[in-house]
A and B are shown apart, each in its own frame.
Chain A
Amino acid sequence: MLEELPSGFPLLSVILFLPLLGAVALWPQRDADLMKQSALGVAGLELALSAILLYRFIPESAAMQFSERLNWIPALGISYHLAVDGISVLFVPLSAFITVLVLLYSWDAVRDNIKPYLMSLLALETTIMGIFVSIDLILFFVFWELMLVPSYFLIKLWGVGESREDAALKYVLYTLLGSVFMLVGFALLSLNYHHVRDAYSFDFLELLTVPVPVGDQLIIFWLIFMGLAFKAPMFPFHSWLPDALVQGPIGMSVVLAGIKLGTYGFLRFSFPLLPEASTNATVVMLVMGLALAAIVWGAIVAIIQSDFRRLLVFSSISHLGFVVLGLFSLNFQGVQGGLLQMINLGFTTAGLFFFAGFLYDRLGHTQVERCGGLASKMPWLATVLLIIGMASIGLPGTNGFIGEFLVLLGAFQAHWVYGVIAVSGVIFAAAYFLWYYERAIFGPLGAMVPRVLPDLTPRESGIAVALCVMIFWIGLYPSPFLRTMNGSVQEVVDRLSRGSVANHGQARLARSVPPGPAEKDD
């Protein structure tokens, strides 16, 4: 069982509920500026607290740290159990960072109904934090579902597209559809626990201690897979993503593109709880196939997009393919690269969505054929867009390179064919981004471009600089980030090779029902 380090001060609970409290505190306020300032203050405090969390976190350790536990529904073994390890700890400051930037971005960009917007955003932050700090499966699931509520309203009420209402509903339905499967998967895990220990439990750490028969693992794996694949979204479960990201408000697109919940789930639950299923040859081949399809499909479809945001959607699908590819390489470099790449996308893909927002605010659209020559009007915007774009396509010296390199190295070690196919994504990525840049930013000034176009405002520059700092920090000196992950990544990789407890004969399972047909896969 993983070592658990309890926390004297309930730091995670504070981090978890601070944004929600902030949202509630906004309620009586009337002055729009004051509301923005308080929301930003709360988000800033949240960021500071997450920075403290990261600072106090012990690197190179696989332990679950800052653990807090309260009983919730003891009959079903459901508890309020929070903790972070090397896999989840970086997502906490990342989410806080993105929320701060989204609030900064929304300062002028969102004018209508600012109060419910800010409240939804802060509530969303709480649910996202909940997803990353919960290690009880049901608690996790509750936040996973609750996240839909503010998201739904953000897309529906503050979306910029014509069909934002449909997009909102589609997003919610798709995710719900997937999560039903996931919930069944969780329930089966708990049932299995009940067979062994004669009690229900949804506690991740407790579930780790009981073996799961391989046949059941496969069923549970695919059930959980459905939930994660829809949320991530993995190819071909992605069709809600273009709608949600193009129709929704920029702030929501940033969050959805930048915070990789779905793939986090693989690393958090699927790998440790279902190691035999995760390493099953058929499973790996299928998932790797989907990942490669996503990489190539996403990148090639991105090439021909005429709308920058749609281009980013497909680039995002392609990048997610890299993440999955790295994870299912099932070796140290791959898993670490996949995890780092999830963090990276919070700076690069999310950053590009901010720039789509900057362009949208100035031009009223993000269509490439109605742009052209923007560099001459907005050199600073053009420069930073290029930096973030280069990070997104993995130029050495930026964070994207470290992530992609590790992922590709991992994939190559898994099988060279995976590596070779995935490398082609690197070429297509350069093609779609630079072709866009050539047509929209370079070239003569477009006929439909307004004569007066202000360059980045100080607030926008702040967002740009913050993103660039992270991009170069991780790109040039990734050690602090890698060190944070090393322990937990090693633990996951060990567990994948060791298998669940069953194979070591520490506990044989008393089965009341006959084994499933998939068991012979072992």
Chain B
Amino acid sequence: MSDLLVLLIPVLPLIAALVNGLLGHRYAPALAARLAVGAVGLSFLCAIAILTGVLSDPTPREVIAYAWIVGGALHVNLGFLIDPLTTVMLMVVTGVGLLIHVYSIGYMQGEDGMTRFFVYMNLFMVSMLLLVMGNNFLVLFIGWEGVGLCSYLLIGYYFDKVSAAKAATKAFVVNRIGDAGFLIAIFLMFVNFHTLDYLEIFARASELSTSMATAIALCLLVGAVGKSAQIPLYTWLPDAMEGPTPVSALIHAATMVTAGVYMVVRSHTVYDMAPVALATLGMIGGLTALYAATIGLVQNDIKRVLAYSTVSQLGYMFLACGVGAYIAAVFHLITHAFFKALLFLSAGAVIHSLAGEQDIRRMGGLSRKIPLTHAVFLIGVLAIAGIPPLAGFWSKDEIMVHAFAHHHYGLFLMAALGVLLTSFYMFRLTYLTFYGPSRVAPDVEHHIHESPPVMTVPLVILAGLSVFGGLLGAPPAHVFPGFLASVAMPAGAVSPVEDVGAAGIVLLVVSVGIALVGWGLAHYLYAVRPGMADDWSERYAGAYRLLLNKYHVDELYDAMVVEPTKRLGQLWDWIDRRIIDRVVMGIGRGTNAGGAGATWTEKHVIYGGLNVVGYASHCVAWSWRKLQTGLVNHYAAVIVIGLVLLVHVLLVWVTSTSVL
């Protein structure tokens, strides 16, 4: 019975996607939306049922759908693994997914192709569920590339916009670079274990040498870096904001981009054996957290600020993995899913109420006009900034405590500085959007309106989760770490919160203090002394523009990778047309003849061949005219006799020379 429940979770959205995709043009988009949302809702219910089961018995359980690829030593099932980690991911994906689906009904109202939107969203759910539920790396990989495809389709949802089309291609291709790394990791694992099943690989992980474990972990990391938009493959994520806002919330904040973190935590047994890979992971995470935050300081597009903040927060999760705090990483993944989905969706509500405006320079003073949206957005901001007792505070604090306790002071400093920057740019965003004088275009001004309940109800629920979600992992109960301990605890680790003792309280105070400083600074610059920020941006124009232009990394990649590849393609194309085309015939003749025989070969073989063809074509033309007299047989006979003669000649030739 519960096996069926497990299978139903991905199958329900799949059915909805198929029905809507194949028959959706026959009925109203509203019905398609209801079907799509209903399917995700049912999946959510199934997931709750699974959760209750796992809570009472956390032993990992495999459910095999069918044997997928079988041949030789390779045996890969389409199978699922239900354990606490999967269950946690299931709750996030189906729960947050459901809320965003509901919200989309309102947000996408009246859009062309709403049915298409829900088909893609459901397909995304299917892929994401395969990704988190698979019992082996290949099923993870189906989901991995599947979410990439859906992300491509949804970024390119407004496909007639050039920028959207470009962003879609970029997202897919950059992700493919990561996927290539992931594939290599899969091959390495198969070569070592002759299986791809999680349980067997992790049980036998100790068979790996340190260098092999490091190689596997680093290749997996390449995949994770691509999917989770870390340095150096992060550039696709900000551009991905071309998609509709619910897509940004679901795919590019709450679920898909966290797949890299999930994958690292899932395979932490391998990482635990590879200190070099862990250090790299932590360093990438720390750098990305800081780096993306600096870009976020000056961006003017409300969604782009949130996008860089997502990159930065994902950096925190990587950092956590890097110091071995896998549970803290998953904890932050969950709270981030709550507050970042909330932020994106309320930003969507702002954009919705302003008829599509996304530039914060043309917002301001919205707190009075859309108070509910303002309230929930503010909750999201407090949560991400790390103000207690909201969700983000607990998870971020957990990460910092681990970094400190494991003596990764460099990473700790990066994380702390990141908190300052995060708090600053999030409050900057808030002040520019909701407070101060209105800079809204006059024609938009008069119809600013609060969103319909179908959008605000999910917002309120997410706001509630952003406030209370952190209590799951808050001391002293540590409900959440206890639940995950069996699957995500690094070998031999003890919870470091007790370790650091009093220092923990100090760290807690420090991190809150830093966040408050960031808030204060933003308040001063954008509320107390408006105009001062502009002065600064002029005084430090060089630095400001460097940040505004995102360190010119896109241009750098274009110049270093994209353009050279195209030029190489042009060069090779030229060689193909001008050189290979002409040389091949020459080489062919040369090798065939070999010096003195050249003329002979040319005369007898090449021209002979030509003659055969010429004669054959003559025959065909002729036989078409006279087919009824049975000359097709004659023609065939001629060809056959010709060939037999040719064979004979060659036999004689070969035996008379000393080739053998």
Contact = CB atoms under 8 A, between A and B. Distances in A.
B617 to A, nearest CB: 7
A505 B159 CA distance: 67
Chain B contact residues: helix, strand, loop or mixed: helix
B145 A396 contact: yes
B609 A486 contact: no
Contacts of B605: 180
Contact of A435 (B169, B176, B628): B169
A446 B625 CA distance: 47
A428 B568 CA distance: 12
A153 B160 contact: no
A386 B10 CA distance: 23
Interface in B221-246: none
Given A239-B581, A419-B184, A443-B160, A427 B177 contact: yes
Given A395-B145, A413-B191, A300 B572 contact: yes
A142 B627 contact: no
Given A408-B187, A482-B70, A486-B71, A444 B160 contact: yes
A183 B646 contact: yes
Interface stretch (A100-108, A169-177, A254-262, A270-278): A169-177
Interface stretch (A61-69, A144-152, A320-328): A144-152
Contact of B70 (A142, A373, A442, A479): A479
B66 interface: yes
B617 A153 contact: yes
A333 interface: yes
Nearest to B215: A416
A191 B572 contact: no
B492 interface: no
B650 interface: yes
A1 interface: no
A424 B149 CA distance: 19
B609 A177 contact: yes
Interface in B598-628: 605-606, 609-610, 612-613, 616-617, 620, 624, 627-628
Interface stretch (A2-10, A30-38, A301-309, A358-366): A301-309
A374 to B, nearest CB: 10
A237 B584 contact: yes
B67 A479 contact: yes
Interface string B148-162: 010010001001111
B173 A149 contact: no
Given A184-B650, A396-B146, 10 more contacts: A152-B617, A176-B613, A239-B580, A300-B572, A406-B71, A431-B173, A443-B165, A444-B160, A479-B69, A490-B72
A434 B636 CA distance: 46
10 contacts: A142-B639, A153-B617, A188-B654, A216-B660, A219-B660, A300-B569, A395-B146, A408-B183, A434-B152, A442-B160
Interface in A485-521: 485-486, 489-490, 513, 516
Contacts of B620: 149, 153
A375 B190 CA distance: 41
Interface residues on B, range: 35 or more
B628 A409 contact: no
Interface in B548-599: 565-566, 568-570, 572-573, 576, 580-581, 584-585, 588, 592
Nearest to B655: A191
B404 interface: no
Contacts of A57: none
B268 to A, nearest CB: 24
- Specify which of A181, A305, A397, A477 lies most central, judged by the most chain B CB atoms within 10 Å of its CB: A397
A423 B186 CA distance: 12
Given A152-B613, A176-B609, A423-B184, A332 B159 contact: no
- Of residues B144, B159, B617, B644, which shows the largest number of chain A Cβ atoms within 10 Å of its Cβ? B159
A301 B606 contact: no
Interface size class of chain A, counting residues whose CB lies under 8 Å from the partner chain: 35 or more
Interface in B159-202: 159-162, 164-166, 168-169, 172-173, 176-177, 179-180, 183-184, 187-188, 190-191
B573 A516 contact: no
Interface in A291-344: 297, 300-305, 331-333, 336
Contacts of B169: 434-435, 437-438
A478 interface: yes
A483 B70 CA distance: 8
B611 to A, nearest CB: 11
B632 interface: yes
A142 B640 contact: yes
Which 3 A-B pairs give the minimum distances between C-beta atoms? A332-B72, A442-B165, A304-B569
B569 A145 contact: no
A396 B647 contact: no
Contacts of B610: 173
A426 interface: yes
A376 interface: yes
Contacts of A142: 639-640, 643
Contacts of B168: 434, 438, 442
Nearest to B646: A183
A412 interface: yes
A24 interface: yes
B524 interface: no
B494 interface: no
B176 A239 contact: no
Contacts of A375: 159-160
Contacts of B640: 142
Given A187-B650, A397-B142, A239 B160 contact: no
A434 B172 contact: yes
Interface string B201-231: 0000000000000000000000000000000
Contacts of A148: 613, 616
A420 interface: yes
A273 to B, nearest CB: 16
Given A173-B609, A191-B655, A442-B165, A303 B566 contact: yes
A332 B142 contact: no
A406 to B, nearest CB: 7
Nearest to A233: B584
Contact of B659 (A219, A397, A439): A219
A333 B613 contact: no
A423 B69 contact: no
Contacts of B138: 396, 405
